[in-house]
Amino acid sequence: MTAGHRKPDGAIRGPALTFTGDPFRDGVEDTMVYESDAIVAFGGGVITHFGPADRVERELPADIEVKDYGRDALISAGFLDSHVHFPQTPMIAAAGEQLLHWLDKYTFPTERKYADKAFAASVAKVFLEECLRNGITTSCVYCTVFPQSVDALFEEAERLGLRLAAGKVLMNRNAPDDLLDTTQSGYDDSKALIDRWHGRGRLMYAITPRFAPTSTDDQLDAAGELWTEFPDCYLQTHVSESRSEIAWVRELFPERAGYLDVYDHSGLCRPRAIFGHGIHLTDDELHCMHRKGSSIAHCPTSNFFLGSGCFDVFRARDERRPVRVGLGTDLGAGTSFSVLVTLNEAYKAAQLNNHSLGAAHAYYLATRGTAQAMYIDDKVGSIAPGMEADLVVLDMKSTPIIDYRMGFVDDVHEALFVQMTLGDDRAVQATWVAGNLLYERAGR
């Protein structure tokens, strides 16, 4: 496969994994591509060639340097994270509370600090560095109620050339006074940020009402109106994460049929809406999300950490009314930046729902599946000519026990499963963004 007119300016070589479709819908056989020795070449930030090394080598100009990662590597599309809170980076691993108390005790006091742009910029740098150390090349990010926290993140993402979505949290009630906006100021600030950032390079804006309890009906309506003005933005929020949250929403919105209906009533269930968690959604609500083309961000480390529940990805993806599902780290309720660790927990969440999440389905979720949930699977999430050159290179023998265990694997599925069960940030050898090497693990 080649992407005609573009000239390659770099290339990498090694075993490679990608997906040409959705294994949940069409099965693994027809959608998973594994090349035991591949070359991925890129130019101008876009993949120009992908295929078996012996063939692609002949197609490349003689002066292209091919970086060979060897047989113990795995080249994949960069990982995507469909739900994460960058301001919570300094409070990851805060012990002892479930969702609503955790927000009061840890989250709100931390998010207050982002009135200071310099502090926001320092955290944005650490956050994006950590994403790259874990092979995450695209994220959909919650900032804080302060617009300057959004500027700080976008400025750093732009410097790195990342494809990234983010937005200012909208929150006009049920939080400390100094963290509240108003319906009007939230709308105005969000609109100004859209004007400044949405569609600039690879950056995208996400309209971000935190969750129903912290917004009045009026604010949710205003978010819907803003989205109608800028329909190619995202809308991100939380839904049906914990039982006590759901009970609170029922008290706050007694006239609505259920939690999702609160959002639907304000026109927030559409394509490019990404709902965090959705653990306790009813069948009717999943039907609604399917019909409207909205997506769920599955955040297993967070769900286990807060004791929120156990999301059933196979129920959400039920072929009779499949809902788009992306993977999310949900820091700082989530406990790891590592996508491999997140897949490990996703596997356990599936087990507790009596399903087995095989490696192929898991790696699909972390790449093309999340890109599909974000409606950018035509740009990122797979390796093919014309796709943006965001790539992660895994080291399949990153620790002594993984190295040892790999001596007993029979096929690529088992090898991938070992990585997602035992691997972490140490397994990420290199991360490429738009054809630029932005992270390389120090030698071991």
Residues lying near ligand GUN in the complex (CB under 6 A): 85, 99, 103, 107, 210-211, 238, 241, 302, 330, 333
Interaction between residue 285 and Zn ion (CB under 5 A): no
Interaction between residue 300 and Zn ion (CB under 5 A): no
By C-beta, is 275 or 432 nearer to ligand GUN? 275
By C-beta, is 312 or 330 nearer to Zn ion? 330
Beta strands (DSSP E) in 72-149 are 73-77, 79-85, 136-142
- What's 269's DSSP letter? -
211 touches, from ligand GUN, Zn ion, none (C-beta below 5 to 8 Å by class): ligand GUN
By C-beta, is 81 or 377 nearer to ligand GUN? 81
431 touches, from Zn ion, ligand GUN, none (C-beta below 5 to 8 Å by class): none
**Nearest approach, Cβ of residue 211 and ligand GUN (Å):** 4
DSSP-assigned states of every residue in 127-195 = HHHHHHHTTEEEEEEE--SSHHHHHHHHHHHHHHT-EEEEEPEE--SSS-GGG---HHHHHHHHHHHHH
**Nearest approach, Cβ of residue 443 and Zn ion (Å):** 36
Q: Among residue numbers 325 through 384, which ones bind Zn ion (CB under 5 A)? A: 330
Name which of 410, 399, 444, 438 is nearest 134 in CA terms: 438
By C-beta, is 304 or 347 nearer to ligand GUN? 304
In three-state secondary structure terms, 380 is: coil
| Residue, CB closest to ligand GUN | 333
By C-beta, is 85 or 317 nearer to ligand GUN? 85
By C-beta, is 276 or 385 nearer to Zn ion? 276
**Nearest approach, Cβ of residue 277 and Zn ion (Å):** 7
49 touches, from Zn ion, ligand GUN, none (C-beta below 5 to 8 Å by class): none
Q: Are 358 and 111 in contact (CB under 8 A)?
A: no
Cα 239 versus chain centre, distance? 17
**Nearest approach, Cβ of residue 434 and ligand GUN (Å):** 30
Q: Are 198 and 158 in contact (CB under 8 A)?
A: no
Alpha-carbon distances, residue 428 vs 62, 89, 392 (angstroms): 29, 20, 7
**Nearest approach, Cβ of residue 85 and ligand GUN (Å):** 5
What token pair was written down for 162? 């990342």
3-state SS string for 28-43? CCCCEEEEEEEEEEEE
296 touches, from Zn ion, ligand GUN, none (C-beta below 5 to 8 Å by class): none
Q: Among residue numbers 221 through 240, which ones bind Zn ion (CB under 5 A)? A: none
By C-beta, is 24 or 253 nearer to ligand GUN? 253
Question: Which of these segments, 229-237, 283-291, 322-330, 375-383, binds Zn ion (CB under 5 A)?
Answer: 322-330
What token pair was written down for 418? 């070992």
Q: How many residues does the chain have?
A: 444
Please select the residue that binds Zn ion; options are 209, 258, 276, 385, rule is CB under 5 A. Answer: 276
CA dist., res. 83 & res. 330, Å (int): 5
**Nearest approach, Cβ of residue 53 and ligand GUN (Å):** 43
**Nearest approach, Cβ of residue 359 and ligand GUN (Å):** 27
Name which of 272, 278, 283 is nearest 302 in CA terms: 278
Interaction between residue 81 and Zn ion (CB under 5 A): no
Element (H, E) at 276: strand 273-277
Name which of 202, 373, 234 is nearest 299 in CA terms: 373
By C-beta, is 38 or 212 nearer to ligand GUN? 212
By C-beta, is 31 or 303 nearer to ligand GUN? 303
Which residue type is seen at 291? R
**Nearest approach, Cβ of residue 259 and Zn ion (Å):** 15
Residues near Zn ion, by CB under 5 A: 276, 330
